[in-house]
Amino acid sequence: MNHILPHKTVERLSHYRRCLSFLIEQERETVFSHELAAMLHYTPVQVRRDVMLIGHEGTLRHGYVVKDLHKQIIDIIESRDNVNIAIVGYGDLGRAIMHYIMGRNPSMHIAAAFDVNPNKIGKYHDGILCFHVDDIVETIKEYKIQIAVLTTPAQVAQKVADDLVAAGIKGLLNYTTKKIKLPEKIYLEEYDMITSLEKVAYFMKFAGK
Protein backbone atom coordinates (compact mmCIF):
# COMPACT_ATOMS: atom_id res chain seq x y z
CA MET A 1 0.00 0.00 0.00
CA ASN A 2 1.23 3.49 -0.81
CA HIS A 3 -1.14 5.50 1.38
CA ILE A 4 -1.50 6.01 5.11
CA LEU A 5 -4.57 4.42 6.66
CA PRO A 6 -6.82 6.25 9.16
CA HIS A 7 -5.92 5.67 12.83
CA LYS A 8 -9.16 3.88 13.65
CA THR A 9 -8.80 1.61 10.64
CA VAL A 10 -5.37 0.50 11.84
CA GLU A 11 -6.87 -0.27 15.27
CA ARG A 12 -9.59 -2.38 13.71
CA LEU A 13 -7.11 -4.20 11.46
CA SER A 14 -5.19 -5.22 14.57
CA HIS A 15 -8.44 -6.58 16.04
CA TYR A 16 -9.24 -8.45 12.81
CA ARG A 17 -5.76 -9.96 12.80
CA ARG A 18 -6.25 -11.41 16.29
CA CYS A 19 -9.65 -12.84 15.38
CA LEU A 20 -8.25 -14.35 12.19
CA SER A 21 -5.39 -15.90 14.18
CA PHE A 22 -8.00 -17.56 16.39
CA LEU A 23 -9.91 -18.81 13.34
CA ILE A 24 -6.71 -20.26 11.89
CA GLU A 25 -6.19 -22.17 15.14
CA GLN A 26 -9.75 -23.46 14.75
CA GLU A 27 -8.87 -24.56 11.19
CA ARG A 28 -11.48 -22.29 9.63
CA GLU A 29 -10.84 -21.70 5.94
CA THR A 30 -13.27 -18.86 5.25
CA VAL A 31 -15.14 -16.21 7.21
CA PHE A 32 -17.92 -13.76 6.38
CA SER A 33 -17.90 -10.07 7.26
CA HIS A 34 -20.89 -10.50 9.57
CA GLU A 35 -18.99 -13.19 11.52
CA LEU A 36 -15.96 -10.97 12.06
CA ALA A 37 -18.29 -8.12 12.98
CA ALA A 38 -20.07 -10.23 15.59
CA MET A 39 -16.77 -11.28 17.18
CA LEU A 40 -15.69 -7.66 17.63
CA HIS A 41 -19.02 -5.81 18.10
CA TYR A 42 -18.56 -3.96 14.81
CA THR A 43 -21.02 -3.75 11.94
CA PRO A 44 -20.64 -5.91 8.82
CA VAL A 45 -20.59 -2.71 6.76
CA GLN A 46 -17.60 -1.42 8.76
CA VAL A 47 -15.72 -4.68 8.28
CA ARG A 48 -16.34 -4.68 4.53
CA ARG A 49 -15.22 -1.05 4.24
CA ASP A 50 -11.98 -1.73 6.10
CA VAL A 51 -11.20 -4.81 4.06
CA MET A 52 -11.94 -2.99 0.80
CA LEU A 53 -9.70 -0.12 1.94
CA ILE A 54 -6.69 -2.46 2.09
CA GLY A 55 -7.53 -3.86 -1.34
CA HIS A 56 -8.68 -7.29 -0.25
CA GLU A 57 -11.62 -9.05 -1.90
CA GLY A 58 -13.95 -11.80 -0.80
CA THR A 59 -16.91 -13.51 -2.43
CA LEU A 60 -20.62 -13.44 -1.66
CA ARG A 61 -20.69 -17.21 -1.47
CA HIS A 62 -17.61 -17.95 0.64
CA GLY A 63 -16.63 -14.66 2.26
CA TYR A 64 -12.92 -14.07 2.92
CA VAL A 65 -10.18 -16.69 2.85
CA VAL A 66 -8.95 -16.56 6.45
CA LYS A 67 -5.25 -17.19 5.82
CA ASP A 68 -5.09 -14.77 2.88
CA LEU A 69 -6.75 -11.91 4.77
CA HIS A 70 -4.64 -12.65 7.85
CA LYS A 71 -1.41 -12.48 5.83
CA GLN A 72 -2.39 -9.25 4.07
CA ILE A 73 -3.21 -7.52 7.36
CA ILE A 74 0.10 -8.65 8.87
CA ASP A 75 1.97 -7.31 5.82
CA ILE A 76 0.27 -3.94 6.30
CA ILE A 77 0.38 -3.31 10.05
CA GLU A 78 3.57 -5.10 11.08
CA SER A 79 7.00 -3.63 10.56
CA ARG A 80 9.30 -5.44 8.15
CA ASP A 81 12.10 -4.92 10.66
CA ASN A 82 12.09 -5.56 14.39
CA VAL A 83 10.77 -2.66 16.48
CA ASN A 84 12.65 -2.02 19.73
CA ILE A 85 10.57 -0.82 22.67
CA ALA A 86 11.45 0.71 26.03
CA ILE A 87 9.33 0.59 29.19
CA VAL A 88 9.85 3.86 31.08
CA GLY A 89 8.65 3.51 34.65
CA TYR A 90 9.22 -0.06 35.78
CA GLY A 91 6.63 -0.37 38.53
CA ASP A 92 3.66 -2.73 38.63
CA LEU A 93 2.00 -1.19 35.57
CA GLY A 94 5.23 -1.11 33.56
CA ARG A 95 5.95 -4.77 34.31
CA ALA A 96 2.37 -5.78 33.52
CA ILE A 97 2.54 -4.04 30.14
CA MET A 98 5.91 -5.64 29.41
CA HIS A 99 4.57 -9.12 30.17
CA TYR A 100 1.55 -8.44 27.97
CA ILE A 101 3.69 -7.34 25.02
CA MET A 102 6.32 -10.07 25.22
CA GLY A 103 5.67 -12.92 22.81
CA ARG A 104 2.51 -11.46 21.29
CA ASN A 105 4.11 -9.93 18.23
CA PRO A 106 7.41 -11.36 16.95
CA SER A 107 8.40 -8.05 15.33
CA MET A 108 8.18 -6.15 18.64
CA HIS A 109 11.04 -6.51 21.11
CA ILE A 110 11.32 -5.05 24.63
CA ALA A 111 14.90 -3.79 24.55
CA ALA A 112 15.25 -1.90 27.85
CA ALA A 113 13.48 -0.61 30.94
CA PHE A 114 14.02 2.62 32.90
CA ASP A 115 13.33 3.57 36.50
CA VAL A 116 14.73 5.58 39.44
CA ASN A 117 14.57 2.81 42.04
CA PRO A 118 18.15 1.80 42.95
CA ASN A 119 16.93 -1.74 43.70
CA LYS A 120 15.95 -2.15 40.04
CA ILE A 121 18.70 -0.27 38.20
CA GLY A 122 21.50 -2.36 36.74
CA LYS A 123 19.56 -5.59 37.21
CA TYR A 124 17.78 -7.88 34.81
CA HIS A 125 14.05 -8.35 35.32
CA ASP A 126 12.45 -11.06 33.18
CA GLY A 127 15.49 -10.84 30.92
CA ILE A 128 15.26 -7.05 30.48
CA LEU A 129 18.01 -4.80 31.84
CA CYS A 130 16.78 -1.78 33.82
CA PHE A 131 18.60 1.56 33.43
CA HIS A 132 18.33 4.82 35.35
CA VAL A 133 16.12 7.41 33.65
CA ASP A 134 19.10 9.77 33.57
CA ASP A 135 20.63 7.39 31.00
CA ILE A 136 17.66 7.56 28.62
CA VAL A 137 19.31 9.53 25.82
CA GLU A 138 22.42 7.36 25.57
CA THR A 139 20.57 4.06 26.02
CA ILE A 140 17.78 4.81 23.54
CA LYS A 141 20.38 5.62 20.91
CA GLU A 142 22.61 2.62 21.74
CA TYR A 143 19.75 0.11 21.64
CA LYS A 144 18.11 1.77 18.62
CA ILE A 145 14.78 2.04 20.42
CA GLN A 146 11.95 3.49 18.34
CA ILE A 147 8.95 3.29 20.70
CA ALA A 148 8.60 4.07 24.39
CA VAL A 149 5.82 3.09 26.79
CA LEU A 150 5.52 5.75 29.49
CA THR A 151 4.25 4.72 32.96
CA THR A 152 6.06 7.25 35.17
CA PRO A 153 4.41 9.44 37.83
CA ALA A 154 2.45 12.25 36.18
CA GLN A 155 4.63 15.04 37.57
CA VAL A 156 7.70 13.88 35.64
CA ALA A 157 5.96 12.57 32.53
CA GLN A 158 6.53 15.61 30.30
CA LYS A 159 10.22 15.89 31.25
CA VAL A 160 10.81 12.20 30.54
CA ALA A 161 8.89 12.46 27.26
CA ASP A 162 11.08 15.40 26.21
CA ASP A 163 14.19 13.32 26.95
CA LEU A 164 12.78 10.44 24.88
CA VAL A 165 12.19 12.75 21.95
CA ALA A 166 15.73 14.13 22.28
CA ALA A 167 16.98 10.55 22.21
CA GLY A 168 15.26 9.93 18.89
CA ILE A 169 12.15 7.87 19.56
CA LYS A 170 9.50 7.86 16.84
CA GLY A 171 6.42 6.92 18.87
CA LEU A 172 5.18 7.16 22.45
CA LEU A 173 2.42 5.27 24.25
CA ASN A 174 1.44 7.33 27.29
CA TYR A 175 -0.17 5.49 30.22
CA THR A 176 0.24 8.37 32.68
CA THR A 177 -2.56 10.74 33.71
CA LYS A 178 -0.57 13.69 32.33
CA LYS A 179 -1.40 14.96 28.85
CA ILE A 180 1.88 15.03 26.92
CA LYS A 181 2.90 17.60 24.32
CA LEU A 182 5.22 16.30 21.60
CA PRO A 183 6.44 17.51 18.21
CA GLU A 184 4.09 16.58 15.36
CA LYS A 185 6.69 14.24 13.89
CA ILE A 186 6.35 11.95 16.94
CA TYR A 187 3.31 9.67 16.96
CA LEU A 188 1.57 9.88 20.34
CA GLU A 189 -1.04 7.47 21.68
CA GLU A 190 -2.51 8.29 25.08
CA TYR A 191 -4.41 5.76 27.16
CA ASP A 192 -6.46 7.22 29.99
CA MET A 193 -7.58 4.30 32.15
CA ILE A 194 -9.62 6.48 34.55
CA THR A 195 -11.63 8.02 31.72
CA SER A 196 -12.28 4.57 30.28
CA LEU A 197 -13.47 3.28 33.65
CA GLU A 198 -15.69 6.31 34.19
CA LYS A 199 -17.21 5.79 30.75
CA VAL A 200 -17.93 2.14 31.55
CA ALA A 201 -19.41 3.10 34.91
CA TYR A 202 -21.66 5.69 33.26
CA PHE A 203 -23.07 3.38 30.59
CA MET A 204 -23.36 0.53 33.10
CA LYS A 205 -26.17 2.51 34.74
CA PHE A 206 -28.26 2.13 31.60
CA ALA A 207 -27.42 -1.49 30.84
CA GLY A 208 -30.49 -3.66 30.52
CA LYS A 209 -32.91 -0.71 30.61
CB 88 within 8 Å of CB 133? yes
β strands within the chain, DSSP E: 30-31, 64-65, 83-88, 108-115, 124-125, 128-132, 147-150, 171-174, 187-190
- How many independent structural domains does the chain possess? 2
**C-alpha–C-alpha distance, residues 83 and 106, integer Å:** 9
Give the domain CATH number at 44. 1.10.10.10
Give the domain CATH number at 178. 3.40.50.720
pLDDT on residue 1: 57
pLDDT on residue 209: 62
pLDDT on residue 208: 65
pLDDT on residue 50: 95
Q: Are residues 63 and 106 in the same domain?
A: no
Q: Are residues 92 and 142 in the same domain?
A: yes
Q: Are residues 49 and 100 in the same domain?
A: no
**C-alpha–C-alpha distance, residues 82 and 99, integer Å:** 18
pLDDT on residue 2: 59
Q: Are residues 161 and 177 in the same domain?
A: yes
Domain that holds residue 137: 83-195
pLDDT on residue 205: 78
**C-alpha–C-alpha distance, residues 187 and 170, integer Å:** 6
Q: Are residues 90 and 136 in the same domain?
A: yes
Per-residue tens of pLDDT for the chain, all 209 residues: 557 888 889 999 999 999 999 999 999 999 999 999 999 999 999 999 999 999 998 888 889 999 999 999 998 887 677 899 999 999 999 999 998 888 777 788 999 999 999 999 999 988 899 999 999 999 999 999 999 999 999 999 999 999 999 999 999 999 998 999 999 999 999 988 887 888 788 888 777 66
Q: Pick from 1, 38, 6: which is nearest to 19 by CA?
A: 38
Domain edge (last residue) among 77, 95, 126: 77
Q: Are residues 17 and 104 in the same domain?
A: no
